[in-house]
Chain A
Amino acid sequence: MTILLHLSAAIAVVSTILVITRLNAVHALLYLVVSLLAVAVVFFLLGAPFVAALEVIIYAGAIMVLFVFVVMMFNLGSEIVDHERLIFQGPIWVLPGLLALLLLLELAYLILVPATANFGVAMIGPRQVGIRLFSVYGLAVELASFVLLSGLVGAYHIGRRYRAVPEERGR
């Protein structure tokens, strides 16, 4: 278990270093996804499976899709053809794929060897988290919903202004 923890921590650190040194934003995003997946494995090994699932679903899923969407919006023009060509010829995806494969092997090992499912650390599952979240932290849940609403309204407002300006220039 210690070796698995150290391996996923090393993958997280290496891919994070690669994130902040890449020149192309899409390559950096690939490594960022791998880094978040590695941190999710660390969460799982520390006995927090609910947070590990949320890390994969929300961080590596939803938020990274948002990033990819915006980066793809910026990359308009003729250079996009060269980028598409690079995807198929270059070994860009090989290293992130390799790191993700290591994480997949760790996960397969954890699933296939049930004797290691209990590592001596007590799991805190979604049940305890949910009970405590909606009893003690009820007010904080409401405040988090306010934060999300303000993010929604703010993003809509800024995005709407961004869209409305070229129409006025057109007239």
Chain B
Amino acid sequence: MTGTASLQFGLMLATVLFLLGLIGVLMRRNLIFVLMSLEIMFNAAGLAFVVAGQRWQQADGQIMFLFILAVTGSEVALGLALALAARHHFGTLDTDLISRMRG
């Protein structure tokens, strides 16, 4: 597969995965599923970076993926800690119920 076709295919795959993650964030009400959908979106963005980096034969795309990996790691740690705290304080993981909190 030539460079341009591979770029087109990779970007299409990244778009589809990102949209699926976005649908998951908007559709699901469980906090764990929202975090999982965020993971899918991060992964799709990283895929787009790597695909573009491979198209122009530069290592920068892969380096951007490494930074996305670092951001994702801290995001997951914080998000899951917040989910534990929300479960403890509100007794539920439903984002509709959690959004009632005040202050």
| Chain A interface mostly | helix
Which residues of chain A are within 8 angstroms of B50 by Cβ–Cβ distance? 43, 46, 48, 51
Q: Mark A44-80, 1 if CB is under 8 A from B, else 0.
A: 0011101100110011001100110011011000000
Q: Is A89 an interface residue (CB 8 A)?
A: no
Please tell me if the beta carbons of A58 and B73 are within 8 angstroms of each other in the complex: yes
B72 touches A133 (CB 8 A): no
Q: Do the beta carbons of A74 and B87 come within 8 Å of each other?
A: yes
A22 — nearest CB in chain B belongs to which residue?
A: B33
Contact at A147–B70, with CB atoms within 8 Å?
A: yes
With CB as the reference atom, state the residue of chain A lying closest to B65: A51
Number of A-B contacts (CB under 8 A): 174
Contacts of B74 on A, CB cut-off 8 Å?
147-148, 150-152, 154-155
Nearest CB of chain A from residue B74's CB, rounded to whole Å: 2
- Chain B interface size range: 35 or more
Contacting pair A63 B72 (CB below 8 A): yes
What B residues does A145 contact at CB under 8 A? 70
Q: CB-nearest residue of chain B relative to A25?
A: B32
Q: Roughly how many angstroms separate A47 CA and B51 CA in the complex, as a whole number?
A: 9
Give min CB distance, A170 to chain B, whole Å: 14
